């Protein structure tokens, strides 16, 4: 289905409802990431607002959502110290945005087409596991760590697993009740009864969960004060008390540091890491997109660059596309990028007008939402599916999962990529296809008859070339994709072929597949 058919007024209701869920998830994440980064709390909110409104408007991604990223926490924390304060760091963020703009115009985004499928799926599964492990402590009322923290090694000397286990020694009963009720409601919201109800199935469960959490805590305050949830167990937006307090909200870059070489080192580091995280995220979101839409990578780098320039200029953290927000967006039923834009507007309204109301939301309710999102990213069926695909798919997949879980996103991805490339390089590969085109002219129109004969071995290294060739096939053409000469076609290439088969009709392309493997092992995103 084309983007034009999806980006319509008919989808406005779905996008607005899903944006509320993404907003509720993004709000504490923005605050938590700022806290973990050693930056002002408002810097995280500013980055979330800019990521939603500015990047959401400029981006051509249908479902990804941008904001401050947990993967940059360590870099931000060190950079603020190295540059002598937050204003020096803001200058680095602005320059990083300029670098991303340049990368976009240099078409560096094509690297996104070279991430192999098992590594992307391993990344999503690992993020799911981390969400579960990190959010269970918040669900049961143990809030020793910032809500948005995702690193394995923590500042307090613990790690993800030790913090998870020790949290059960610090259960807060009020949060536990709200968390379990929220979790049970979300599980029930996926039942057939809800899906068959015309009204209820249109309402994201996350909205109901948050409203119920606020209500339960109100009842605790009124009738059971010992169970009342407050303090670190709640969303905590700083309240703007007047015009004077705006000076603490908006900080500006220190341009006197333009001659400081450390500013440029930090800027290049931020630009490269943020760009890689963004490309990984949009590739993952495209795989999860039920409508098979592709995000132009270079346009995304440009959008992120503009977002980081603006965020840095007004006191915000660096921005990337974020898998957690994007996954929550898809899970909530978003149809277009309007959901990301609406979520940014909601963040702005919440900060400017309703901070006291937002501070009534228990973190346990939001943790339940993220745990459910995490489980759907790391379902046991996914591991079985990858295992059945064979060693060349499963080992890079599980290596990526383990590496991300015990290090961080980028290190884990690099390890997974190295293992994936090792398996691919074990096999010989040649040019992926032979291209032959014949023009056919009729009385009414001119059509092309195109024959693509695949080579003996088509690997994931040929994925980008094959993807781009299929995407640029002319409209109204007749295409034959012949695998008769192929002894091996890797899963990534088959995925590209069958995904193209699903969308070929949009360009009125007649596609015939000859001797192309099929069956239960091929997963096509619908």
- Other beta carbons within 10 angstroms of residue 67's beta carbon come to 34
Q: Give the mean pLDDT of 206-225.
A: 96
**Same domain, residue pair 335 and 395:** no
Residue 304 lies in a domain: yes
pLDDT of residue 462: 79
* Residues recorded for the chain: 526
Using alpha carbons, select from 425, 397, 424 the residue that is nearest to residue 413: 397
**Same domain, residue pair 338 and 466:** no
Residue 268 clears pLDDT 50, i.e. is over it: yes
Residue 336 lies in a domain: yes
134, 202, 218, 290 from 195: Cα distances, Å: 29, 9, 30, 17
Q: Give the mean pLDDT of 394-409.
A: 94
Using alpha carbons, select from 254, 300, 246, 245 the residue that is nearest to residue 111: 300
Residue 64 clears pLDDT 70, i.e. is over it: yes
**Same domain, residue pair 33 and 91:** yes
Residue 151 lies in a domain: no
Last residue of a domain, one of 367, 398, 416: 367
**Same domain, residue pair 253 and 392:** no
**Same domain, residue pair 482 and 339:** no
pLDDT of residue 348: 95
**Same domain, residue pair 340 and 392:** no
Residue 330 lies in a domain: yes
Dist CA 228 CA 518 (whole Å): 57
358-399 tens-digit pLDDT: 999 999 999 999 999 999 999 999 999 999 998 889 999 999
**Same domain, residue pair 338 and 398:** no
pLDDT of residue 101: 97
What is the percentage of the chain residues whose pLDDT exceeds 70?
Answer: 93
**Same domain, residue pair 493 and 414:** no
**Same domain, residue pair 283 and 404:** no
Count of structural domains, the chain: 3
> N- to C-terminal Cα distance for the chain?
9
Residue 442 clears pLDDT 50, i.e. is over it: yes
24-60 tens-digit pLDDT: 999 999 999 999 899 999 999 999 999 999 999 999 9
Residue 372 lies in a domain: no
Q: Which residue range is the domain that position 386 belongs to?
A: 378-425
By the 8 A CB rule, do 182 and 364 touch? yes
Q: Give the mean pLDDT of 123-133.
A: 94
Dist CA 364 CA 295 (whole Å): 34
Last residue of a domain, one of 318, 344, 367: 367
């Amino acid at each position: 289905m084309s983007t034009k058919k999806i980006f319509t007024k008919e989808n406005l209701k779905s996008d607005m409802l899903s944006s509320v869920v993404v907003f509720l998830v993004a709000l504490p994440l923005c605050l938590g990431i700022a806290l973990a980064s050693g930056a002002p709390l408002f810097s995280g909110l500013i980055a979330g607002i800019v990521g939603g409104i500015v990047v959401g408007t400029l981006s051509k991604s249908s479902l990804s959502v941008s904001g401050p990223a947990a993967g940059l926490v360590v870099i931000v924390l060190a950079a603020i110290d190295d540059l002598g304060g937050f204003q020096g760091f803001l200058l680095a963020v602005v320059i990083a945005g300029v670098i991303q703009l340049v990368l976009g115009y240099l078409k560096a985004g094509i690297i996104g087409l070279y991430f192999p499928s098992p590594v992307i799926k391993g990344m999503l599964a690992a993020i799911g596991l981390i969400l579960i492990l990190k959010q269970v402590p918040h669900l049961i009322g143990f809030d020793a760590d910032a809500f948005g923290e995702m690193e394995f090694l923590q500042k307090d000397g613990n790690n993800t697993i030790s913090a998870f286990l020790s949290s059960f020694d610090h259960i807060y009963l009020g949060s536990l009740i709200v968390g379990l009720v929220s979790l049970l409601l979300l599980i029930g919201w996926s039942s057939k009864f809800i899906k068959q109800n015309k009204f209820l199935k249109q309402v994201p469960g996350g909205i109901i969960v948050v409203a119920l959490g606020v209500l339960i805590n109100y009842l605790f305050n009124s009738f059971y004060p010992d169970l009342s949830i407050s303090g670190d167990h709640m969303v905590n937006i700083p309240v703007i008390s007047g015009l004077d307090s705006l000076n603490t909200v908006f900080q500006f870059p220190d341009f006197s540091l333009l001659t400081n070489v450390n500013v440029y080192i930090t800027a290049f580091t931020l630009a490269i890491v943020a760009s890689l995280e963004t490309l990984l995220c949009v590739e993952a979101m495209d795989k999860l997109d039920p409508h098979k839409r592709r995000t132009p990578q270079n346009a995304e780098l440009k959008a992120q660059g503009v977002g980081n320039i603006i965020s840095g200029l007004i006191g915000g953290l660096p921005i990337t596309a974020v898998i957690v927000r994007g996954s929550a967006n898809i899970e909530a039923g978003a149809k277009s990028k309007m959901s990301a834009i609406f979520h940014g507007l909601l963040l702005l309204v919440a900060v400017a007008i309703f901070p006291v109301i937002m501070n009534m939301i228990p973190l346990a309710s939001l943790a339940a939402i993220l745990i459910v999102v995490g489980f759907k990213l790391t379902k046991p069926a996914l591991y079985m599916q990858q295992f059945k695909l064979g060693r060349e798919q499963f080992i890079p997949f599980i290596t990526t999962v383990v590496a991300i879980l015990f290090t961080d996103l980028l290190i884990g991805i690099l390890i997974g990529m190295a293992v994936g490339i090792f398996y691919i390089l074990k096999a010989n590969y040649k040019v992926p296809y032979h291209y032959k085109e014949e023009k056919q002219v009729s009385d009414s129109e001119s059509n092309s008859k195109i024959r693509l004969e695949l080579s003996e071995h088509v690997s994931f290294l040929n994925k980008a070339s094959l993807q781009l060739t299929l995407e640029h096939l002319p409209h109204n053409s007749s295409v034959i994709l012949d695998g008769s000469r192929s002894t091996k076609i890797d899963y990534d290439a088959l995925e590209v072929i069958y995904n193209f088969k699903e969308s070929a009709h949009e360009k009125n392309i007649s596609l015939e597949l000859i001797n192309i493997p099929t069956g239960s092992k091929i997963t096509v995103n619908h």
